[in-house]
C-alpha cells in the first residue's frame, strides 16, 4: 500500500505530509496543549470533575477533547538506592493519530471524513449525519459523537491553521517542545535520534510508537516516544486497521448470501401437490 495517503486520496501536487511527534520524555503535564486546542477550535466544555486518576481529570479523548494528557504514577525503576518507595511520573499528551490507513475514514458512509492534501484526516461537519460508524472503527478510541449536535468530532490537526502555514495550536503552545509539528519524514528522523540517545542514557523501555509505516495502521501521522509500554498510557499495543480484513469479510458475506439465493431456488424445486 502506498505510504503517501494524500496522493492515494487523489491530491496531485500536494504539500508534504505533516504530523506530530510527541516526545513524552519531556512532557511536564502542564495541559497547555489541551487548553490551546479547546480555545483555537472552540471545542465546548465537556464536564469538569475530579476523576481520581492522578492529575488526569480529562480522562480520555472524545468528541470535545482532542488533546488529552495522561498521568501515570509508577514505582521508579531501580536503582534508587535507599529509596525503596521512589516513584516516577509518566506524562503524555495523546491526540488523533491521523493514520496512514484510517479505519474511521474507510468506514464513513457519507464521505464526511476525508483525507486532506496534508495527509491528515478531517470530519466535515456539514456532511456528517451522525451514523456513529467511525466511533467503534477507530482502534484508539479517538473519534466520538457529541451528544449536543449528534455528530462525530475529532482533532483536525488544525486544518485551518495548516492552510495559512501555521503550526497547530497544541504544538504552538507546548512549552517544552514535547509536541513537535512538521513534515513527517523529518519528524521520524528526529525521533529516531532521540530514542537512541535515551536508550544510550539507560532508558531501556524508551520506544517509538506508530513511527513504522510497516505497522498495522501504516504508521501514524501522529506518533510518540514512550517511556513504557503503550498500554500503560492507554494505547493499544498492536493496533491493526479493521479494514485490512474487509476483503475476507465480503468474501464470507458473499458465500453466505449466495447460499441463501441458492436456497430460494431449491425451495422452489418441489412443486406443490394440488
Partner 1 sequence: MTPREPTGAGRLKGARRRAGAEIMVPDAEFTSYYGRPVIKEPVWKTPDVPGYLFLGGLAGGSSVLAAGAELSGHRELAKVAKAGALGAISLSAVALVHDLGRPGRFVNMLRVFKPSSPMSVGSWLLAAYGPVAGAAAVSGWTGLLPKAGLAATFGAGLLGPGIATYTAALICDTAVPGWHEGHREMPYVFAGSAASAAGGLGLLAVRPWDARPARDLAVLGASVELIAKRRLLVRLAAVDGQSIAEPYETGTPGAILRVAEFLTAGGLAGAVLGGRSRVVSAVSGASLLAASAMTRFGIFEAGMASARDPKYTIVPQRRRRGPSASPAE
- Residue 141 contacts partner 1 per CB under 8 A: yes
Site for partner 1 in 160-219 (CB under 8 A): 202-205, 207
Q: Kindly state the smallest distance separating residue 128's Cβ from partner 1, in Å.
A: 7
Contact between 210 and 217 under an 8 Å Cβ cutoff? The reply is: yes
Residue in 1, 127, 176, 185 binding partner 1, rule: CB under 8 A: 127
CB crowding 33-60: b at 16 or more within 10 Å, else e: bbebbbebbebeebeeeeeeeeebebee
Figure out which of the listed residues 91, 112, 174, 210 binds partner 1, where binding follows CB under 8 A: 112
Residue 2 touches partner 1, criterion: CB under 8 A: no
Residue 250 engages partner 1 in binding (rule: CB under 8 A): yes
Residue 171, C-beta contacts closer than 8 angstroms, at least 6 positions apart = 20, 33, 179, 180, 181
At its nearest, how many Å lie between partner 1 and the CB of residue 224? 14
Instruction: Please give the C-alpha separations between residue 257 and each of 82, 250, 270, in angstroms, as whole numbers.
Output: 68, 10, 22
Contact status, residue 16 vs residue 183, Cβ threshold 8 Å: yes
Phi, psi of 6 (to 5 degrees): -65, -40
Minimum CB–partner distance for residue 243 and partner 1 (Å): 6
Say whether residue 263 binds partner 1 (CB under 8 A).
yes
Site track for partner 1 across 23-42, x = CB under 8 A: --------------------
Which segment (6-14, 52-60, 155-163, 175-183) binds partner 1 by CB under 8 A? 52-60
Reduced to 3 states, what is the DSSP secondary structure of residue 181? strand
Nearer to partner 1, 28 or 262 (CB): 262
Among 12, 48, 193, 261, binds partner 1 (CB under 8 A): 261
Q: 28 with 91: CB under 8 angstroms? A: yes
Amino acid at each position: 500500500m502506498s505510504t503517501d495517503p494524500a496522493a492515494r486520496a487523489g491530491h496531485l501536487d500536494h504539500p508534504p505530509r505533516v504530523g506530530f511527534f510527541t516526545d513524552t520524555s519531556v512532557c511536564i503535564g502542564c495541559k497547555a496543549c489541551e487548553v490551546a486546542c479547546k480555545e483555537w477550535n472552540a471545542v465546548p466544555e465537556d464536564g469538569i470533575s475530579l476523576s481520581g486518576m492522578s492529575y488526569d481529570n480529562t480522562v480520555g479523548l472524545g468528541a470535545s477533547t482532542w488533546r488529552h494528557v495522561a498521568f501515570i504514577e509508577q514505582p521508579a525503576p531501580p536503582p534508587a538506592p535507599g529509596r525503596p518507595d521512589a516513584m516516577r511520573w509518566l506524562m503524555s499528551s495523546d491526540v488523533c493519530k491521523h493514520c496512514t490507513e484510517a479505519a474511521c475514514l474507510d468506514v464513513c458512509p457519507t464521505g464526511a471524513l476525508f483525507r486532506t492534501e496534508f495527509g491528515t484526516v478531517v470530519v466535515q461537519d456539514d456532511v456528517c449525519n451522525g451514523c456513529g460508524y467511525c466511533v467503534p472503527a477507530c482502534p484508539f478510541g479517538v473519534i466520538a459523537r457529541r451528544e449536543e449536535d449528534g455528530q462525530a468530532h475529532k482533532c483536525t490537526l488544525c486544518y485551518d491553521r495548516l492552510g495559512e502555514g501555521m503550526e497547530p495550536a497544541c504544538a504552538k503552545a507546548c512549552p517544552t517542545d514535547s509536541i513537535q509539528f512538521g513534515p513527517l519524514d523529518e519528524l521520524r528522523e528526529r525521533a529516531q535520534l532521540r530514542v537512541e540517545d535515551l536508550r544510550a542514557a539507560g532508558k531501556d523501555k524508551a520506544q517509538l510508537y506508530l513511527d513504522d509505516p510497516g505497522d498495522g495502521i501504516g504508521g501514524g501521522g501522529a506518533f510518540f516516544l514512550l517511556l513504557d509500554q503503550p498500554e500503560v498510557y492507554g494505547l493499544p499495543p498492536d493496533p491493526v486497521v479493521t479494514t485490512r480484513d474487509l476483503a475476507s469479510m465480503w468474501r464470507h458475506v458473499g458465500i453466505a448470501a449466495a447460499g441463501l439465493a441458492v436456497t430460494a431456488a431449491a425451495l422452489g424445486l418441489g412443486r406443490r401437490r394440488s
